Structure 1
C-alpha cells in the first residue's frame, strides 16, 4: 500500500492505481473506482447504493479480497469528507477489510483475533487472505491522521466504529492507545465505551502489551463502573485468553468471571451495537446459513 502516494490518494487519482490486476467477488477490479466516485458524490441515493454494492463486492459473506485493500485509502477519505449519514457504514467496511473473518467463530477467545491463518487463500484471486488484511491495516496506519479525529465525531456510532478501525493499526501504537484511553475517559455512549475498551485490548493482545489484561480485570472488578464498562472489560479479559484445546468437560467447570453476574437487561441490549459483536453475529449467521444441513 505504500506504493500509492499521498498525492494520488488525496487527489482521488483512481487511474494511477492498478485495479485491473485484481478481481472483486463478482467481477473485475476496474468496477471499484466508479463505485468509489459515486459514494463520494452529492447524490444521496446513488451514494447509498454504491456503498451497498461495495459491501457486496469487497466483503462477500464475511470474506475479504485483495482489491479491497486498494480501496481502503479512498474509503477513508470519503468517510471523512463524504456524507455524514454514511460515515459509520463506510468505516465499518474499512475495518472489516482489515481483519480476519471468523466464519462462525463467535467465541470470546476469538473476538480480538486480527490476523488470518498464513495458508488461507482467497479462491478467486489465489492471494493469501492475510496479505490483503495486512495491506489494509497498513493503509489505515498510513492515514491515522485522518482516522484519529473521528473519535470525537458527534455521532456515537461513528466513534464506536472508529475504535474498531483503529484497533487494526500496525504502527504508532502508543499514540493510538493513548487516544483511545483519552476518549474512553470522557465517552458517554454505552456501545462506544465497549468499543473503546475492546480496541485497547485488541491492540494489546496482538502487540503483547502486558499490562492490558490486568487493566481490563481492574475495570471489570470495580463495582462502581457502569455496566457496559464492566461487560466490555469482561469481554476483553476473555479475548486475551488463548483459544482452548478440546478436552473432556469437567463435572463442575468454573465460569469465567465476566459472565458470573448478569448485567441489567438494558445494558445488554445496548451491546448489540458495538462492531465487534455485530461482526461475530454476522459470521455466526453466515456459517449457519452455509452449513449443508441448513442449505437444502
Structure 2
C-alpha cells in the first residue's frame, strides 16, 4: 500500500498540510480547474487520456483506468463506475473531476455502449459533500461558480479527505458540465427515462445565469409523462434555482405540489424543492400532501432519483430521510447496526 506521505500524487496535499498557501498552486499543474480547462476541447482524442497529469492528483491513476474501461467498452463497466462514484462518495473528487470531460462525449454519443453509465457518474464531482445530506439548508445547496484559478473557493468548501481543496474539484467539474450544456440538453428528450433523469441531474450542476437550463427543464416537463422523470425535472429546476435565485420558479414549484392533477412523485419532489428554496414554515396542506403520498413503496421507488439515492442512509430511503430532516428535525437519526441482535 502506498504511503500518502511519500506518494508524489499527494505532493500538493502535503504542502497544504504544512501550511502552504493554496493560491501558490492556482493555475498550475496541480490545479484541477486549470487541467480540466486545458483538456475540455480535445476530450475526444485517444492520445489525450495519457497526456493528462493524472498522477498529480490523489487516486488519479484509478480514475484514468476507469475512464479507459468506459471509453473502450471493456468490462467490467460496473467496476469503472464504482471507482468514479466511490471517489465522490469518499470525498476525494479531484481525480473524478478530471474524468468529466471524457465522460460527457460518451454520455452524448447515442452509439456508445456505456453512455448511460458515463452519464450516471459524470456529475458526481460537481457536487460538494452531498451523500446522506437531506436538510432544507443543504440538500440542493449549490454555490454560484467561483472565479477560476483563484483560491477564493478554498475556504467556502474546505478540503477533501486527502487535503485537496474541495472547491477546486467542484469548480472544475461544474465548468466542464457548463461548457457542454448545449450537447447535454438534448438528452432531456431521450427515449430512455433513465437517461432523462440523469441528464436533469447533470444539468442541474451547470452554471445557469441566463436560465437556459431552467427553461429547458420546464419545457420538457410540459410533455413528460413518466412520473419519476417529472420528479427529476422538478428537483433539477429547484437545484439550479438554489444557485441562481429566481422567485417565479419558487412560486411555480409551489403550484406543482398543490396541483391535484400532478403525479404524486412529482408533487413530493416539488414540495421538497420548494422547502429548499424558502425559509417559510411548511404549510399544513404541504404536510398533508406529504403524509398522503410518501408511502414506503413510493419512497423506495423514488430512490431511482439520484438526489434521493444520495440523501438516503442507515437503511432509510432518501425520501423518508428528507421528510424527517426537513419537517421533523428534532427526530434522532436512525441507527442501522448490522450486528444488533433482535430480542
TM bucket, shorter chain: 0.7 to 0.9
- Correspondence for 1:212: 249
Q: 1:59 aligns with which of 88, 94, 99?
A: 88
Write the distance in 2 (CA, Å) between the matches of 1:293 and 1:233: 29
- Correspondence for 1:169: 206
Q: Does the CA-based 8 Å contact 2:238-2:273 persist in structure 1?
A: yes
Write the distance in 2 (CA, Å) between the matches of 1:84 and 1:257: 46
Write the distance in 2 (CA, Å) between the matches of 1:239 and 1:204: 10
- Correspondence for 1:140: 177
**1:31 Cα deviation after fit:** 3.6
Distance verdict in 2 for CA 1:135–1:193, change over 3 Å? same
Instruction: Give deviations 1:193-227, integer Å, cap 9, x for gaps.
Output: 11100111111121111211111111122222222
Distance verdict in 2 for CA 1:263–1:123, change over 3 Å? closer
Return the TM-score normalized by structure 1.
0.80
Write the distance in 1 (CA, Å) between the matches of 2:111 and 2:80: 13
Distance verdict in 2 for CA 1:64–1:258, change over 3 Å? farther
**1:5 Cα deviation after fit:** 4.3
Q: 1:33 aligns with which of 45, 64, 89?
A: 64
* Aligned positions of 1:91-240 closer than 5 A: 91-115=119-143, 118-124=156-162, 126-171=163-208, 173-240=210-277
**Partner SS for 1:160:** helix
Instruction: Give deviations 1:167-196, integer Å, cap 9, x for gaps.
Output: 101146422111111111111111111110
Write the distance in 2 (CA, Å) between the matches of 1:220 and 1:164: 20
Distance verdict in 2 for CA 1:34–1:101, change over 3 Å? same
- Correspondence for 1:263: 293
* Number of equivalent positions: 275
Q: Does the CA-based 8 Å contact 2:128-2:157 persist in structure 1?
A: no
Q: Does the CA-based 8 Å contact 1:190-1:270 persist in structure 2?
A: no
Q: Does the CA-based 8 Å contact 2:123-2:202 persist in structure 1?
A: yes
Write the distance in 1 (CA, Å) between the matches of 2:336 and 2:268: 34
- Correspondence for 1:14: 49
Distance verdict in 2 for CA 1:191–1:47, change over 3 Å? same
Q: 1:279 aligns with which of 307, 310, 315?
A: 310
Return the TM-score normalized by structure 2.
0.70
Q: CA RMSD in A?
A: 3.1
Q: Tell which structure's C-alpha radius of gyration is larger.
A: 2
- Correspondence for 1:3: 37
Relative contact order, CA 8 A, sep 6+: which one is greater?
1
